[in-house]
Structure 1
């Protein structure tokens, strides 16, 4: 074998050796990367999810709200006053401001009505990021958002006895089983779900309740008795309003209890005295995503659309 051929073979052998080492290193790197990825995912899960009993709205975020969040916080008093004036002037309603969260080009402001009708909702205050200025004379709300909240609050006033039946039942369920609802703080700071309690919220789905809203904007000081005189259950159908029962397990690591879930569904199906409407039941494990206040996951148990529990 001449020297030239020997050098070629030696070079080829060295290349193969390097390739072999490289493959071995890659295999080791892949295993390490897999372990790192799994660890990162576990850490992210721990960072994102918290026990529902510990969640009070901290960590809630909206897309691209980093810059506006700081501007909003620096102008909190100004935003507070502007939003209260907006609800007073536009919706004839006094509110208290619970939370301000930065979003794209603005701040979302979570509020609770004072007195009845009682509801939670939100408004939006535009922010000029370049000028770092809040535009308090242009406060607005998403179409139908506040209107729906007011109508659900009026619904709860009119059908207060029926609402009390559901309240009493769910309090019993929570006291006798390992289930719970969200905290009062989370309800106030991030839910904005119209008429809501820690255990459920109500939505309207049609224009059947619009006359209530129109009358409220004309005369927001009507008494409960007066509201009952202008609206009754003959004026809507069950599909026009949805009550969603939304519960969690009490301990971390507990899977949603199907026996408890089935019992709640069965009880509501058979229950007398509930308001006419469509009912959903959702049971989550103990963890809630602190970024969006949502507890639904792959293991969530749910009875909802299109199989609502319908109460005539």
Structure 2
């Protein structure tokens, strides 16, 4: 998950202008948070109690000015990537306010997040950035995973259907869609997997990829191929499954055999995405409600 970006990018987000927009939160929401357990079965988890470690004053700012932070987060992606996104969550994290967004614009689909300073809600000016940090490059890669999905949509949808069709046979489930939108910011992600695309500079994005947004499908695919060639980018995209099972601790030997069969079956399927490496991961059925980070789970990998 893309977390705190460098101070370079954050400082760019804090240009002149001022507005305040207090947001009251209901007593019911407060009570709900106090009763959320530390871990929940993934099928029941929809982002309840999600609150990474953060400073108390930042938590208060995120709650009080939620709507204003949402607008700034949405503006950030419009100003820098030319994409319309919808804010899905605002939470404090460490010393900044993290705005989670979901994009489904012209077939480009991804989840991402951007950190803002705790007083960024006061600003109204442009958020267009010239940041060249590695953190910004990671964020560009997050956005480009949505371009990768659009470029091979039919084949990725075939892969998704494979996971759906085999969920009962191999006894696994995936993330709840609402939990993805509220807690995940790692690019294109559905219930069963997420796509990791190469980190690129913002300058490269604006030159090679942003002009493709409104192209028809054929021109879009040709543009993606041309961009890879002109940038000398030959690496495969990576697909990481995020699967859960309530039998994680049962009969380890048989479970391993089962997942070897699953992986063999997956590799034999036709019409899956090209130039993609797929890693299958299986963890237990519980997810941490405060961090909701699959990468922190103990998993079996194939």
Which interval holds the TM-score relative to the shorter structure?
0.7 to 0.9
TM-score (norm 1): 0.71
CA contact (8 A) 2:140 2:201 kept: no
Q: Deviations over 1:28-74 (max 9, x none)?
A: xxxxxxxxxxxxxxxxxx94221111111122222324321221111
Q: Deviations over 1:110-158 (max 9, x none)?
A: 1001332111001122114xxxx74445868941233112211111111
Q: Which residue of 2 aligns with 1:222?
A: 215
Higher mean C-alpha deviation, range 219-228 or range 138-147: 138-147
Q: Which residue of 2 aligns with 1:279?
A: 278
| Separation (CA, whole Å) in 2 of partners of 1:55 and 1:75 | 25
Q: Which residue of 2 aligns with 1:263?
A: 261
- SS of residue paired to 1:179: coil
Q: Deviations over 1:61-100 (max 9, x none)?
A: 2232432122111111111222222211111111111111
Q: Deviations over 1:234-278 (max 9, x none)?
A: 958874311001100147976773344222221223222222221
CA contact (8 A) 2:137 2:202 kept: no
Alpha carbons of structure 1 residues 199 and 134: separation in structure 2 relative to 1, 3 Å: same
CA contact (8 A) 1:255 1:299 kept: no
- SS of residue paired to 1:292: coil
- SS of residue paired to 1:293: coil
Q: How many aligned positions are there?
A: 254
In the TM superposition, what are the counterparts of 1:1-312 in structure 2 within 5 Å?
47-115=37-105, 116-128=107-119, 134-136=121-123, 142-205=135-198, 214-232=207-225, 235=229, 239-250=235-246, 257-275=255-273, 276-295=275-294, 300-303=299-302
Alpha carbons of structure 1 residues 206 and 217: separation in structure 2 relative to 1, 3 Å: closer
Higher mean C-alpha deviation, range 282-291 or range 170-179: 170-179
Where does structure 2 lack aligned partners over 5 or more consecutive residues? 1-35
| Separation (CA, whole Å) in 1 of partners of 2:199 and 2:74 | 28
Higher mean C-alpha deviation, range 258-267 or range 81-90: 258-267
TM-score (norm 2): 0.73
CA contact (8 A) 1:284 1:299 kept: yes
Alpha carbons of structure 1 residues 155 and 255: separation in structure 2 relative to 1, 3 Å: farther
| Separation (CA, whole Å) in 1 of partners of 2:202 and 2:161 | 26
CA contact (8 A) 1:254 1:286 kept: no
| Separation (CA, whole Å) in 2 of partners of 1:105 and 1:206 | 25
Alpha carbons of structure 1 residues 252 and 283: separation in structure 2 relative to 1, 3 Å: closer
Where does structure 1 lack aligned partners over 5 or more consecutive residues? 1-45, 304-312
| Separation (CA, whole Å) in 2 of partners of 1:238 and 1:279 | 16
- SS of residue paired to 1:181: coil
Decide which structure has greater helix share: 1
